[in-house]
């Protein structure tokens, strides 16, 4: 799954018994798409205030209320995306639940398995996919037998 925008992850704990952990990922629009939506919303508000409402107000009836609705919806869109653009939290556009099936805790099944896991981890560090802090953390997990999944998911 590719998540666009900003994601806030909230898990419900670490389970070492082999059961699943469910995490909720909240996705909000990115800064670039929010900025574009704010500009378009403002443009539609200005269009409605300068041309649509003055041009239809004398006609009366449903056309008048459509032009007012146009401006209100455009202002709401501009405000919604401005809040996402300028705030640190924003409004969640979508929410996903991710289930992580954990492996039972315990040491690797053999010395060869431990060796291959450490070599894969070193290769990830050497390729620049993880930094040295992540390498040390994952190395300790592998050596202590607490590794949840191998190889670790990077990205």
Query: Can you tell me the distance from the alpha carbon of 14 to that of 81, in angstroms, rounded to the nearest whole number?
Result: 35
Q: How far is CA 69 from the centre of its chain?
A: 32
Is the pLDDT assigned to residue 148 strictly greater than 70?
A: no
- The whole-chain average pLDDT of the chain stands at 76
Share of the chain above pLDDT 90, in %: 23
Tens of pLDDT, residues 90-143: 788 788 877 755 554 555 456 668 888 888 888 888 888 888 888 888 888 888
Task: Write down the residue that tokens 């459509």 correspond to.
Answer: 66
pLDDT at position 44 is 95
pLDDT at position 76 is 95
Tens of pLDDT, residues 70-103: 999 999 999 999 998 998 877 887 888 777 555 5
Name the residue ranges covered by the structural domains of the chain.
1-102, 106-155
Query: How many helices (DSSP H) and strands (DSSP E) are in the chain?
Result: 5, 3
pLDDT at position 30 is 86
């Amino acid at each position: 799954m590719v998540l666009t925008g900003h994601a806030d992850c909230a898990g419900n704990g670490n389970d070492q018994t082999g059961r699943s952990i469910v995490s909720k990922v909240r996705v909000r629009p990115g800064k670039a798409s929010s900025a574009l939506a704010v500009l378009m919303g403002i443009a539609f508000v200005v269009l409605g205030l300068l041309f649509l409402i003055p041009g239809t107000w004398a006609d009366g009836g449903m056309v008048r209320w459509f032009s007012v609705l146009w401006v209100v919806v455009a202002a709401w869109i501009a405000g919604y995306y401005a809040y996402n653009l300028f705030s640190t939290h924003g409004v969640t556009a979508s929410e996903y639940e991710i289930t992580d099936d954990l492996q039972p805790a315990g040491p690797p099944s053999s010395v060869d398995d431990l060796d291959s896991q450490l070599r894969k981890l070193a290769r990830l560090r050497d390729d620049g996919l993880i930094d040295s802090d992540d390498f040390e953390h994952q190395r300790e997990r592998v050596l202590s037998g607490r590794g949840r999944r191998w190889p670790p998911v990077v990205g």
